[in-house]
Amino acid sequence: MRTRWMKKPTEKSLLLSLKLSLILFVIRLSPEKLRANAECKLSSYNLYQGNGLYQCKYAHFNHRILLNSWFFDLSQLMPPIKMLALDLDGTLAVDNNQVLPATRSALQKLHETGVEVVIVTGRRYRTTKFVMKSLGFDVYAVCNGGALVKTPNAETHHETTYSLSQLADVVSVARESKLALIGQRDADDRGGPDFIIDNAIPWSDVIHGYFDSNKAWGIKGDIRAQAPEFLVTATFGDEQQLKMLCSDIHRSFPQTFETITVPQLGTDNWYCEISLANITKWHGLSKLASLFGIGPANICAVGDQLNDLPMLKEVGHGVAMGNGDEALHAHAKFVCGNHDEDGILDVVEYIHKHNKQIAQ
């Protein structure tokens, strides 16, 4: 065994490397009962495969350990992928909520092997459920950027909503910025409109266009007067305007809200989503992981924009779409093909190979 360090090793990190080597040696030679205990001990080091090497993270020390194949086959200890989490727009869905036939077929076959396929999106549930049904098997979904988790039977597994005071705080900042907020609700569960647009200030052309295209599911009104049932709030505008809004919100109410600004696909506009602190796509996905008894290392997550970053950073296998934000690529285990060219097939193939290697 030889060790390659990314930087000068400390005394503590050298001791850790030696300790890990001894644990591996025990696993190699010990009886089954002792071997199982040793494997449990080793699991506390969160060992996982990455870039052809085996990486060990423990006590804030990062090590890369290159093991000779004759010593021990660490692939036996790599956790299988049990869940595939897919963003929608720019990842799984193409135009009109459609999933490409080859991608749909591949996901169905993957699901048949026991891998849970779930959707994790910033969309409202009303539009998400069309894609869920089109896949042809039971699918759980994280909606509204992590604030809402739905079962295949449309039951609410988890939700996080604004309080009236939190809503008043964020609306006041938006009104000062001359931006009309859209309050998003779970109309499927609560009844009533899917969203309410604040009409206390004049609307931009983009907000008018959004309302005209979705008026069957939304209403106008003073959203501060509504019951505390909004999952997230959002608005549209140009990039600089929305980033200033986010800055004002964080300055006025530190550690209270999460904000994300991303391009609105197919337009020159930008979209800003404002959720409560710590409510991200990973928040919602972690609720599903707990439901299925699956750890982060057993999850592969795929996305295309920076609002997908929290879940890509937390899971064992984070994948970025080729058509996605290049800033997201830097945090991904690998980059697959484009969403409109069956790029998800690359991910499905990767999961099959990974799980097959572990099963051998």
List helix spans (H) across the chain. 11-29, 32-43, 101-112, 125-134, 164-176, 187-190, 205-214, 239-252, 281-292, 309-314, 326-329, 344-359
Confidence of residue 17 (pLDDT cuts 50, 70, 90): low
Does the pLDDT of residue 135 top 50, yes or no? yes
Mean pLDDT of the chain: 83
Q: How confident is the model at residue 224 (pLDDT cuts 50, 70, 90)?
A: confident
* CATH code given to domain 83-159+280-359: 3.40.50.1000
Cα atoms in the 13 Å half-sphere on the side-chain side of 192: 13
SS3 6: coil
Question: Residue 71 — pLDDT band, cuts 50, 70, 90?
Answer: very low
Specify the pTM.
Answer: 0.78
Buried b (16+ CB within 10 A) or exposed e, 281-299: bbbbbbbbbeeeebebbbb
- Residue 23 is predicted with a pLDDT of 57
CATH for the stretch 164-276: 3.30.1240.10
Report d(CA 235, CA 240) in Å as an integer.
13
- Phi, psi of 144, deg, nearest 5: 50, 40
Residue labelled with tokens 């080859």? 102
User: Is pLDDT above 80 for 1?
Assistant: no
Query: What is the mean predicted confidence (pLDDT) over 107-126?
Result: 97
Q: How far apart are CA 188 and CA 18, in angstroms?
A: 56
pLDDT at 48 > cutoff 60: no
Residue 101 vs residue 7, higher pLDDT:
101
Band of pLDDT at residue 32, cut at 50, 70 and 90: very low
329 pLDDT higher than 50: yes
In the predicted structure, residue 165 carries a pLDDT above the cut 60: yes
Percentage with pLDDT > 70 across the chain:
79
Hunting for tokens 């109309």 — which residue is that? 187
3-state helix, strand, coil in the chain (%, to 5): 45, 25, 35
Q: What is the mean pLDDT of residues 193-213?
A: 94
In which residue ranges of the chain is CATH 3.30.1240.10 found? 164-276
Strand order in the sheet with 116-120: 156-159, 148-150, 140-143, 116-120, 83-86, 299-303, 317-320, 334-335
Average pLDDT over residues 321-340: 95
For the residues 22-49, what does the mean pLDDT come to?
A: 42
Question: Does residue 295 or residue 263 have the better pLDDT?
Answer: 295
Residue 180 to residue 199: CA distance in whole angstroms: 7
φ and ψ at residue 331, rounded to 5 degrees: -105, 0
Name the segment(s) of the chain with CATH classification 3.40.50.1000: 83-159+280-359
* pLDDT confidence of residue 342: 96
Query: What would the DSSP string read from start to end of 173-218?
Result: HHHHTT---EEE--HHHH-S-SEEEE-SSPPPHHHHHHHHHHTTTE
| b/e sequence 301-329, b meaning 16+ C-beta within 10 Å | bbbbbbbbbbbbebbbbbbbbebbbeebe
Beta-bridge partners for 55 = 48, 64
Give pLDDT tens digits for 242-256. 999 999 999 999 999
Region 317-328: what's the mean pLDDT?
A: 95
Percent of the chain with pLDDT over 90: 72
Q: How far apart are CA 319 and CA 354, in angstroms?
A: 14
Instruction: Read off the pLDDT of each residue in 278-301 and give the average, rounded to a whole number.
Output: 97
Query: End-to-end CA distance of the chain, in Å?
Result: 23
- Give dist(CA 258, CA 255) in Å, integer: 8
Average pLDDT over residues 6-29: 52
Q: What does the pLDDT read at residue 158?
A: 97
Residue 185 burial (10 A CB sphere; 0-12, 13-18, 19+): buried
What mean pLDDT comes out for the span 339-344? 96
Question: 57 versus 194: which is more confidently predicted?
Answer: 194
Cβ-contact 301, 120 below 8 angstroms: yes
* Cα–Cα distance for residue pair 342/62, rounded to 1 Å: 35
Q: Which residues pair with 143 in a beta bridge?
A: 148
- What pLDDT, on the 0 to 100 scale, is given for residue 37? 39
Answer whether residue 113 shows pLDDT above 80. Answer: yes
- Residue 301: CB partners within 8 Å, gap ≥ 6? 84, 85, 86, 120, 285, 308, 311, 312, 314, 315, 317, 318, 319
**pLDDT of 36 above 80:** no
Q: Please, which pLDDT band fits residue 15 given cuts at 50, 70 and 90? A: low
Measured distance CA(238)–CA(269) in Å, rounded: 6
